[in-house]
A and B are shown apart, each in its own frame.
Chain A
Amino acid sequence: MLSELLQGTDTGGFLVIQDSSSCTGRHLLKSFINAALNREENIHVLGFEVSEEELAEGLNTSAPQRLHFHNAYSDPLGWTDHLTFTVHQFCFDELTHLVKQTSQSKPATLVIDSLSWILRHQSPPAVCKTLQQLKRGGAVRAIIGLLHADMHQKGTVGSVCHLTTSVITVAPGMKGDEAVAKITKRSKSGKVMQYEEIFSIKEDLTVIVQSKPSHLEHKQTDPEEQQMDPTAHLTFNLRLSDTERKAKEKLALPFVFSKEKKTALLHSGQGSGRILYEPDANDDYDQEDPDDDLDV
C-alpha cells in the first residue's frame, strides 16, 4: 500500500504523514517528493522547519525548475522585511497565486513541511478551511503534509486528519533503520481501509517495504451486484433453441379461456376485498437474506 501511495495520490488527495518525537517522518516525506519528481510533476514546498539545502539533500535534482522551494525557514513570521514566505500567507488566495505564478501548465503538488508549524500560528479552523479549499480548487493537484502528532491536542490532530484521504502514521520499528507505517486510506465511495507495513528508506530515498501488508478491509457501501447466469454450469440443458422456443410459444396453455369469458371474469373481479398490511417490528427479521455473506 505504501508503494501505491508513493506512486501518486489522486487528484484532490490530501495525504498526511503523522510522526512523533520517537520516529521522524521527514525521510518519508522526502521519498514522496522524490517519487513525485521522478514522475515529472511540479512541486511546491513550503519549508518551515528545515532549510532548503537540508531538504534538497538527496533529492533528484535533474530538473531543478520543477521543484520550487518557498523559504519559510529563515523568517517565518515576517519580522524582517525580506521577501520570504510567512505563515500568515497560508491562505487560499495567496497560495493559489503563488502556485500559479511559477507553474502554469499543469496543477502542482503542494508539500507542506510542516503543518504543525502553521497550526501553532494560525487557528485550526482557519487552517482546515484553507486545506479544504485547496483540496477542491484547481491550482493544486495534491497536498502532502507533515504533522507532528505529539505537538498538538488530540482534537486538532483529529480535525486535520478528518479532512485527509490518507494518513500514514510512522512509529519506530524493531530494528534500527526500520519503521512501522500504519496507513488509513479513505476512498471516494466511503470505504476506509487500514494497513500496517514495515518499511525502510535507502540512501537514494527509495522505500523498501519489508513485510507483507496486513490489511483490514471493510467495504461499507457499494457492493457489486453479482449477475450470475443461472443456466450456466449445469449438468442439464436449460437453454432453448429457436425451434424449441417457437414450439413453446405455440403451446396452448390450460385455463386459457376465450376472450369473452376473460372479460366477464375480469369485470366481476372489481370490488373484491383488498389485503392491506402494515409491517410491524417482526418484519425486520429476514431469515434468508441472501446478502448475508456480502461484506457490506
Chain B
Amino acid sequence: MAAPVDGVGKPSAERSPFNSTSFQKKTRSKLISIPGTRPSVQNGQLLVSTGVTSLDYLLGGGLAVGTVLLIEEDRYDSYSRMILKYFLAEGVVCRHELFVAAAQDNPDDILQELPAPILDDVAIHKPVDQPRLSCEPQDSLDAMKIAWRYQNLPKVQSALASTSRFGHYYDVSKTMEPEIRQAAKCHHFYLPEHPTQSSTTHSPMIESYSALLKSLQEVIHREGFDIAASMPKSRNILRVGLQSLGSALWGDDLSCHDNPRHSHALTTFLYGLRALLRSSLAVAVVTVPSHLIQDRALMGSITRLCDNAIALESFKGSERETNPLYKDYHGLLHVHQVPHLNCLASQLPDHKDLAFKLKRKQFTIERLHLPPDLSETVSRVSRGELAGATMVASACGSGTSGTKHLDF
C-alpha cells in the first residue's frame, strides 16, 4: 500500500494542511505534514511533484509517495535526462533527500547540472530578515525612496513551515546555485566506484542491481524513511533517481541481445524496488533505454511492474523532424500506465496524443492538435503542399501532388 495520509474518515474536499491562516482544523488524527507534498484530491494519497507541472497534471496531480515512475528514454537520452533533473531539482527546492544512482555519468555531474528554480517564493536557506521595526527608522527609510511602503515586507517570503507551492518552475539555461544545492542531502551510487561483490547465491538479479537495492535499503533504514519506524519529529521524503537501468553499463544484456541471458534481472529488481518503496516514504523515477530493448514482451512486463510509465519519443533524427505538423514540438509523449492505488479505476488522461516541448522556463506537455480540416479552396495549401512534397521525396511518382483538386 502506498503511504496514505492518515486520517479517520477524511473527506476528499479537505483543505491542504499547509494553511495560510492560523486557523487549525480540529481533527482527531495526526496528519503527516511533510514539506513539498499534498494529498491527492482523488484518493487521498500523499502526492509529490515531479518538477514538471504538466506531467503532474497528467499523472493525476503528482506522483504518489511509494510509487515508481518509469520513463522510457528517447533516442539520444536528452529529454528523459531533463525530466530526471527536474525531479531532483524539485527535491532540492522542497528540501527532500535525494538518492541518485547512475552507471554512465557520475551522480555529482548530474547534480551539478540541475536547472535553477525561478525564484519568487522559494525559501532560500538564509536567516529570514525579520521585518524591521521602528528601531532604526533612518536606515530603513533611506533604503527605498519611491517604494518606501514596501520597506517592512521581508525580502525573502519564507514559507510558513513548508513550501506553500506545489510544483515549481525552472530555468533550463541556468544551473542551480551551489548553496541551494548543497543544502539538500544527497546519497550517491555510482556503479564503477562501487566495490563489486560476486554473490554466491543464485539469484536472477545481477550483481549491480542487487548492490543497488541493498544500498537503497540501507539508506532508507538508516535515515528513517521507513513508515514503520518510530516517528521522529519531522519526516521527510526520499527521492530516488535511477538513470538508464537496463543499459549495458549496468552489466545487463537486456538492451544488447534479442534474447537476453539475464532476462529477469531488471524485472526482479523492479519488483524488489516497488516492495521497498511501498513500505517507506520514498518516490522513485527510473529511466530505461527502451529503444534498445528488442523484446517487446519484456518491455511490457517492465511497464507493468512500475506504477506510472511514460515514454518519450523525440523527433530528432527521425523523418518526423521535418514534418510541419510537428514543428512546434520536440517530441511525442505516450502514457503507458497510470497507477490504481487502493482503488478500482484509475484516472486516465483524457487525450492520448500528447506532445512535449522544452522551452527555457517550462517543459510543456500539450495535446497535439491537427490542423483544422478546411475545404480545398481555403488555404490548406501550405500544409498540404508541404506534406505532399515530403511524401514525394520518399515515395514513388510525382503525380500525387497533382491530384489535389479532384472533381467528382
Contacts and interface: CB of A to CB of B under 8 A. Distances in A.
Interface of A: 123-125, 128-129, 132-133, 153-156, 158-160, 162-163, 184, 186, 190, 192, 194, 216, 218, 220-225, 253, 256, 259, 262-263, 265-267, 269-270, 274, 276, 278-279, 281, 284, 286, 289, 291-292, 294, 296
A262 B173 contact: no
Contact of B53 (A220, A284, A292): A284
B316 A218 contact: yes
Given A162-B247, A192-B78, A223-B173, A291 B360 contact: yes
Given A263-B134, A266-B149, A266-B151, A129 B141 contact: no
A288 to B, nearest CB: 12
A270 B152 contact: yes
B317 A153 contact: no
A128 B360 contact: no
Given A270-B152, A278-B166, A291-B359, A125 B249 contact: yes
Contacts of A132: 104, 192, 249
B360 A294 contact: yes
Interface of B: 20, 53-54, 57, 76-79, 81-82, 104, 131, 134, 137-138, 141, 145-146, 148-149, 151-152, 164-167, 172-173, 192, 247-253, 255-258, 289, 291-294, 316-317, 321-322, 330, 358-362, 364
A8 to B, nearest CB: 23
Contacts of B359: 289, 291-292, 294, 296
Contacts of A221: 78, 82, 172-173
Contacts of A284: 53-54, 362, 364
Contacts of A125: 248-253, 256
A250 to B, nearest CB: 12
Contacts of A220: 78-79, 82, 330, 358
Contacts of B149: 265-266, 269
Nearest to A133: B192
Contact of A278 (B145, B165, B294): B165
Contacts of B248: 124-125, 128-129, 159-160, 162
A186 B20 contact: no
Nearest to B160: A276
Q: Which 3 A-B residue pairings sit nearest by Cβ, starting from the closest?
A: A124-B256, A128-B248, A159-B248
Contacts of A289: 359, 361
B317 A190 contact: no
Contact of B256 (A133, A159, A184): A159
A155 B256 contact: yes
A124 B253 contact: yes
B78 A190 contact: yes
Nearest to B20: A276
Contacts of B362: 284, 286
Contacts of B166: 278
Given A124-B256, A125-B252, A265-B149, A162 B82 contact: no
A286 B149 CA distance: 30
A133 B77 CA distance: 20
A279 to B, nearest CB: 7
A153 B361 contact: no
A5 B84 CA distance: 31
Contact of A154 (B78, B134, B289, B294): B294
B302 to A, nearest CB: 15
Given A163-B249, A216-B316, A253-B146, 18 more contacts: A124-B257, A125-B256, A128-B247, A154-B292, A159-B255, A162-B247, A216-B322, A221-B78, A222-B172, A222-B173, A253-B145, A259-B141, A269-B152, A281-B53, A286-B362, A289-B359, A296-B172, A296-B173
A265 B104 CA distance: 60
Contacts of B173: 221-225, 296
A223 B253 contact: no
Most A CB atoms within 10 A — which of B57, B251, B255, B362? Answer: B255
A123 B77 CA distance: 23
A186 B81 CA distance: 14
Contact of B289 (A162, A263, A278, A294): A162
Contacts of A265: 149
25 contacts: A125-B253, A132-B192, A132-B249, A153-B258, A154-B292, A155-B255, A159-B255, A162-B289, A186-B76, A192-B76, A194-B317, A216-B321, A220-B78, A220-B79, A223-B360, A224-B173, A253-B146, A259-B138, A263-B141, A266-B134, A274-B20, A276-B20, A278-B164, A289-B361, A294-B359
Most A CB atoms within 10 A — which of B76, B81, B250, B293? Answer: B76
A269 B255 CA distance: 64
B292 A129 contact: no
A259 B289 contact: no
A124 B145 CA distance: 69
Most A CB atoms within 10 A — which of B53, B146, B166, B253? Answer: B253
A159 to B, nearest CB: 4
A19 B356 CA distance: 34
A160 B289 CA distance: 13
Contacts of A129: 248-249, 251
